Amino acid sequence: MERKTPQILISAGGVAVLAAIFALWCGGVRYSAAGMTAAIISAVLFTLVCLRFVPKWVDAWRDGEPDAPSLDGEPRHICVRIFAAVLLWDVLIIVIVYILRRIFGCTAGFFDALDFWTCTDSGHYLDIARDWYLSEGSVDRLVQLVFLPGYPVVVRLVTAVTGDGLIAGLIVSGLCFAGANVMLYKLVSLDCGHEAALRAVKFLCLSPAVFFFVAPMSESLFLLCTLGCMFLVRRGKMLPACLLGAYAAFTRSLGVVLIVPVVFELVQRRAKLKDYLCVLIIPLGFAAYCLVNYTVSGDAFKFMQYQREHWNQQLGWFFNTAAYQTENAIYSASGNSVNFFGLWLPNSLAQALSLVLMLFAVKRLRSSYTAYFLAYFIVAVGATWLLSAPRYLAAAFTVPTALAVITHDRRADWCLTTLSVLAGAVYLCEFVLRWQVW
């Protein structure tokens, strides 16, 4: 009973806090029965994942988890083969998008049609790479300050070689995505072996939102830095790990969340003070972004104003997101099928299914990875006007890792692979048709 006391206390305290937050939230909102039901389901699923996670967490901090083994036994040249295969897959997606656009009526040649990839937020990143942030000009250019500079900096460097920002962006995204898959393989193989690591790579490449890793956007670079950080932490190389974590936080604000899994790893290995001090490097990446805000606008937190005024975006609660997205889905289902199938349904499914996935996988995942997912989910899904849940959750490395650990059975692997392919095909068509896929 003594061994279970910490688990009981943490679980009871966590449930009480979440219940209190939910009750306070209920008192300040007016949603329909469907919206409130969605919020309750989201909160319950999240709570169940946490309750299944707590025993794993307590055991990890008390008894530790296996250290990272030697990688001497990995197949010869496997990383090179993964890198080459993913790079080929990246190019193939570009070709498939062009073919689909031709089917849907595009008459432009292949290279002219590449301009399509400047849709969504890609155009903003390419503008920043070309002109940096503007302190005066049109509002549409000023608000680009909300996009972090990590990715545009790299694109600008590559543009010096290619002479074309779009081509540079596609190259950077393709190379980073290939590198991210290599790092995912190496990270998952530390705990689960070669076969599971390959499945993780497969599920990442078959993510319904995989085309966002191809586009000139920050997802691929962010994922590469995140996985590199976690792999180096597992190998005990704290300084380079946290430098990569800092660049992840310079690329996307969610990079700061890496503090959570890194601290989890340090606690369970009984790390020294100098290792904990290295963790302080990670938020410096986001601090550098705030400094950019200050130099451009005179306000280190100007991005928050732009997000609030231009995109109605603030930090909120993930169950509130489930509520308003469900209501919007119901509203659009009767008169706006584009918004229903392209925007609200994929967003709602991405949130709910990721929690269901974690419910099945949490006992087989390393505790730091689950902690990362929970923190990432709270921040990413908690946005007050979230339109990009599939994209955000695709960049959480825990998702393909979780799929890998629950598909050791061949039938489960086949079923989830088939579902991923079908969902990906539908979502890609919606992206090409510009059905509000963000």
Give 237-289 pLDDT, tens digit per residue.
999 999 999 999 999 999 999 999 999 999 999 999 999 999 999 999 999 99
Six token digits for residue 393: 């959750």
pLDDT digits (tens, 9 = 90+) for 313-354: 999 999 999 999 999 999 999 989 999 999 999 999 999 999
Six token digits for residue 35: 């919206």
- Per-residue pLDDT at 70 exceeds 90: no
At 407 the pLDDT is: 97
Identify the band that residue 63 occupies on the pLDDT scale cut at 50, 70 and 90.
Answer: confident
Nearest to 229 by CA among 247, 241, 246, 215: 241
Six token digits for residue 61: 């901090």
- Per-residue pLDDT at 1 exceeds 70: no
**Locus of tokens 């400094």:** 291
At 6 the pLDDT is: 85
CA 231/CA 189 separation, integer angstroms:
10
What's the helix, strand, coil split of the chain in %, to 5? 80, 0, 20
At 66 the pLDDT is: 73
Contact (Cβ atoms closer than 8 angstroms) between residue 285 and residue 249: yes
Identify the band that residue 223 occupies on the pLDDT scale cut at 50, 70 and 90.
Answer: very high
At 85 the pLDDT is: 98
CA 385/CA 312 separation, integer angstroms:
6
- Average pLDDT (196-204) is 98
- Per-residue pLDDT at 234 exceeds 70: yes
Give, for 118, the enclosing helix (H) or strand (E): none
- The overall average pLDDT reported for the chain is 96
Quote the crossing angle between the two packed helices 33-63 and 5-26, to the nearest 10°. Answer: 160
At 64 the pLDDT is: 81
Question: pTM score, two decimals?
Answer: 0.96
Residue 406 vs residues 39, 70, 256, 415: alpha-carbon distances, Å: 27, 24, 28, 12
Identify the band that residue 72 occupies on the pLDDT scale cut at 50, 70 and 90.
Answer: low
pLDDT digits (tens, 9 = 90+) for 126-163: 999 999 999 999 999 999 999 999 999 999 999 999 99
What are the structural domain ranges in the chain? 2-432
